């Protein structure tokens, strides 16, 4: 009897200990997984995260596109500047034009703009090169500006999710007339902050990529300007063949008045 009684007490004690551990484990909150955090903001939070995901895809595409576009070989092909310079030194402008057209690039466009004003002298060539450099720089910067736009919009989208989540949290407090505890309020704010984190994750790399690409464009345009100046320098030594007319429409210019006296009267009918 004593052995059976002791064995029964041991079984009961083990069962009670196991039940206590199960109750303690059920009361302990489980760690939220990645998808639980993404879905914690509800339908509105999920929609905002989808917008942030679309912005991140657009930013990644723009970074890849600029990585391929802003290569030095695409902007400044090897040998074009030297070929144009040698052709101009030998007074073969047609050969210089053909060398530029064989290698389409930003440098080639700038050189062709200068060669198109060759007959009007160095001043017109220099002005045309400056205008073309400004145009090409603006063209390269146009797509990079979208990275800046994404970097500025993404935190605002995340902030929208935060404000929306806080509105819902305080609405729950107002609906229950203060019965909702601090835990309920903290849960709503926690759900709302997920969108803010998503916005910052998209914005920070986008702004960093924008700064890097902008500096890259400035550096490449400066090199294009230097090589264009080097290639077209032989034009300075040439005399100006002709000058651009000041008034391209001579028919619109008034007839010169005779020197002295009064202008002739029209004939009488």
3-state helix, strand, coil in the chain (%, to 5): 80, 0, 20
| Residue found by looking up tokens 């100006």 in the block | 240
φ, ψ (nearest 5 deg) of residue 221: -65, -35
For the chain, count helices (H), then strands (E). 9, 0
> Is 16 within a domain?
no
> Is 6 within a domain?
no
> Is 89 within a domain?
yes
pLDDT digits (tens, 9 = 90+) for 199-257: 999 999 999 999 999 999 999 999 999 999 888 888 876 655 555 555 555 554 454 54
> Is 257 within a domain?
no
Average pLDDT, stretch 57-73?
A: 92
> Is 108 within a domain?
yes
pLDDT score at 186:
63
> Is 180 within a domain?
yes
Confidence of residue 78 (pLDDT cuts 50, 70, 90): confident
> Is 266 within a domain?
no
Count other C-beta atoms under 10 Å from residue 248's C-beta: 7
pLDDT score at 246:
53
Confidence of residue 258 (pLDDT cuts 50, 70, 90): very low
What does the longest C-alpha to C-alpha distance in the chain come to?
A: 155
Owning domain of residue 65: 33-237
Which residues 6+ apart lie within 8 Å of 127 measured at CB?
117
Q: Report how many domains make up the chain.
A: 1
> Is 10 within a domain?
no
pLDDT digits (tens, 9 = 90+) for 168-198: 777 766 777 666 666 666 666 766 788 888 8
Q: Where are the alpha helices (DSSP H) in 28-71?
A: 34-38, 42-69
């Amino acid at each position: 009897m004593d052995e059976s009684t002791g064995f029964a007490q041991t079984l009961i004690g083990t069962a009670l200990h196991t039940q206590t551990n199960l109750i303690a484990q059920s009361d302990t909150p489980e760690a939220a997984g990645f998808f639980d955090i993404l879905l914690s903001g509800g339908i509105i939070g999920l929609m905002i995260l989808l917008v942030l995901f679309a912005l991140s895809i657009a930013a990644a595409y723009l970074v890849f596109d600029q990585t391929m576009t802003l290569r030095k070989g695409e902007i400044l092909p090897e040998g074009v500047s030297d070929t144009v310079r040698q052709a101009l030194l030998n007074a073969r402008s047609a050969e210089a034009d053909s060398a530029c057209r064989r290698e389409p690039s930003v440098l080639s466009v700038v050189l062709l703009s200068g060669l198109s004003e060759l007959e009007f002298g160095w001043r017109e060539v220099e002005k045309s090169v400056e205008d073309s450099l400004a145009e090409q720089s603006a063209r390269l910067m146009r797509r990079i500006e979208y990275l800046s736009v994404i970097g500025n919009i993404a935190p605002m989208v995340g902030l929208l999710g935060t404000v929306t989540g806080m509105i819902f949290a305080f609405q729950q407090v107002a609906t229950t007339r203060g019965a909702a505890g601090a835990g309920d309020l903290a849960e709503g704010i926690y759900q709302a902050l997920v969108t803010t984190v998503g916005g910052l994750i998209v914005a920070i790399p986008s702004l960093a990529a924008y700064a890097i690409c902008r500096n890259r464009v400035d550096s490449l345009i400066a090199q294009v300007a230097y090589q264009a100046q080097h290639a077209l320098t032989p034009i300075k030594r040439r005399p100006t063949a002709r000058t651009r007319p000041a008034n391209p429409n001579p028919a619109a210019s008034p007839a010169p008045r005779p020197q002295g006296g009064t202008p002739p009267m029209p004939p009488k009918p």
